[in-house]
Chain A
Amino acid sequence: MTMRTLSALVAIAMLSGAALAQQKTAAEAIAEYRAMMADDNPAELFEAKGEDLWKQKRGPRNATLAQCNLGKGPGVVKGAFVELPRWFQDTGKVQDLESRLLTCMETLQGFDASKIIHTPFGTGEQSTIESLVAWIASESRGMRLNIPQSHPQEKISYEIGKRAFFYRAGPYDFSCASCHGQPGKRIRLQDLPDLTGNPGDGVGFAAWPAYRVSSGELWGMQRRLNDCFRQQRFPYPGYTSEVIIALSSYMGVNSNGSVSVAPALKR
């Protein structure tokens, strides 16, 4: 037992030099790649489309979203994104940006929200929402997250989100915390923000929605978390389901004070 421990310790000491040098090169190379991609984020294409869609008369009622209340009053877009999720009196619910957009599309434009909920990501009205969230998030770019916790339901959403974050299950025994529960870790070469605290400006919650390089699509937080649950080997979380909104409350409130850079560019 002691022999094994000793040899392991010696091995770690010998290893760290070589491993560190190699790690640094790979990390540097990846940093270089990301720097080359930093400007000219294709998310801009979605932002432009989203702004257009917001102002367009659409849906069965042929109405725009100009009167949509994202939390700061009808039609106020600037600064709304960094205060979501929040509690809304008219629906009596804590809503994130996407569930709130569904409410507006239903009440103002006459769309059937339940139909959109079952529309596959990246198609139909789901792609409308993807462009809308890109634009709405961009209107708060550079602002600090300031997600409210004053309403009791907002506190409950946070507490449920926290428990969902640590909920281990499924064939791999994973929870969100398996990957995002400690600082300084990676999966393959991708850095994993520690989402149990505030990972800093433009990191984690403060980076989404984002343009996903791997699929060439714009992903909102709903889709990001949907794919987390897929990788977690969980069953399928419904679009705008309560667990996703609760997790957003938890991660968002933890990130309060950090600058939002969304829509960012992600792997």
Chain B
Amino acid sequence: MTTRRQLLSQSAQVAAMLTTLGFFPERAKAQAANFNAAAFEAKSMPDLMKALNGAQPVESKDITVTGPDIAENGAVVPVGASTALPGVKRMLLLVEKNPSMLSAVFDVSDAIEANFSTRVKMGQSSNVYAVAMMADGRVLYATKEIKVTLGGCGG
């Protein structure tokens, strides 16, 4: 048995190791037809936008990112992305300091609102981004910092 903190530090080491080797386990394992492996391996916003054919992102007040200021546990952090703007093609949720920054992609159809919530893992305190990719090619984002705290008992 290992503690969570050991796992976290190990995962960071392993992530660094895999990065230097240029090896990503998920690429070989992509089974789903529409899964964009390159996007989920991106380490930076430019890499991510390249993988998704997106323009340079611009911060926008029209985009909302939700999440707690402090997460009691990085293993489960509730986050959300939404906008009332018309013409949204896609919404993304990103965690800047995770080994790969992209957490989830939502394709927006006419039948649904551009408003999604999920729960993500965070290895450490980080900025979290909600990104909206618009039909007109613009890429807009909002960001907020979420602090991840160390736990006591059972941590």
Answer yes or no: A and B touching, Cβ < 8 Å.
yes
Q: Which residue of B lies closest to A33 (CB)?
A: B68
B137: shortest Cβ distance to chain A, in Å? 33
Inter-chain CA distance A39–B154, complex, in Å, is: 23
Cβ-based interface call for A62 (8 A): no
| A32-B68, A33-B68, A213-B75 given; A187·B153 CB < 8 A | yes
Across the interface, B78 reaches (CB within 8 A) one of A33, A188, A189, A190, namely: A33
Inter-chain CA distance A187–B150, complex, in Å, is: 10
Q: Once the chains bind, are B152 and A190 in contact (CB under 8 Å)?
A: yes
Inter-chain CA distance A26–B119, complex, in Å, is: 21
Q: Once the chains bind, are B152 and A188 in contact (CB under 8 Å)?
A: yes
Question: Could you give, for residues 31-51 of chain A, a 1 whenever the CB lies within 8 Å of some chain B CB and a 0 otherwise?
Answer: 011101100000000000000
Cβ-based interface call for A182 (8 A): no
Cβ-based interface call for B149 (8 A): yes
Residue count of chain B within 8 Å CB distance of chain A: 21
Chain A residues in 8 Å Cβ range of B119: 37
Chain B residues in 8 Å Cβ range of A189: 70, 72, 149, 151-152
Across the interface, B154 reaches (CB within 8 A) one of A26, A29, A267, namely: A267
Inter-chain CA distance A227–B3, complex, in Å, is: 12
Chain B residues in 8 Å Cβ range of A188: 149-152, 155
Across the interface, B68 reaches (CB within 8 A) one of A36, A190, A212, namely: A36
Cβ-based interface call for A75 (8 A): no
Across the interface, B70 reaches (CB within 8 A) one of A30, A37, A215, A216, namely: A30
Inter-chain CA distance A267–B68, complex, in Å, is: 15
Q: Once the chains bind, are B73 and A214 in contact (CB under 8 Å)?
A: yes
| A29-B70, A32-B69 given; A190·B75 CB < 8 A | no
Q: Once the chains bind, are A214 and B78 in contact (CB under 8 Å)?
A: no
